[in-house]
Amino acid sequence: MTNERGVTLTELLTALTLGLFTIGAVYGVHLNQVKKQIVQEDVLAMQQTARAAMDMMAREIRMAGYDPMGVNRDSALSNDFYGLRYHPTELHIRADLNGNGVPIDSKESIVYLYDDSTSTLRRKVGMGGRQPVAEHIESLTVSYRDALGH
């Protein structure tokens, strides 16, 4: 019996093969986790955008019909001031924000438009252009009651 020290070529190849399988498995798990993190970040970004859009809309809807001087309504309601109008694809908000008695200034008319072809919610202030507020929106539905409770 010889007292040779060291490893044989077969032992070395077996150890390298096992090491490569282990490294491959660890890399596969890591790659899977990275993909899941990217998906979660995308979902989070969509949720944050939706929350920001809903917050902006809620603040502006609360101001709908704001008429501090009371000049846009009369007792016979012949000059009724509608601060909120809704159509199937748009929501129109008006308010006399600067208190001058005329709710038609440039930033006192806000329209939210739902573009079905691009699944985008857009916002238009005054005579400005339509700016995207949120994307990947499947539908827009608004429920509210008018002055008569309808």
Measure CA 78 to chain center: 39
Q: Using CB atoms within 10 A of its CB, is residue 84 exposed (0-12), middle (13-18) or buried (19+)? A: middle
Q: What is the pTM of this model?
A: 0.67
pLDDT bracket for residue 37 (50, 70, 90): very high
What's the rounded mean pLDDT across residues 54-83? 72
What is the pLDDT at residue 149?
Answer: 74
Q: Counting every residue, how long is the chain?
A: 150
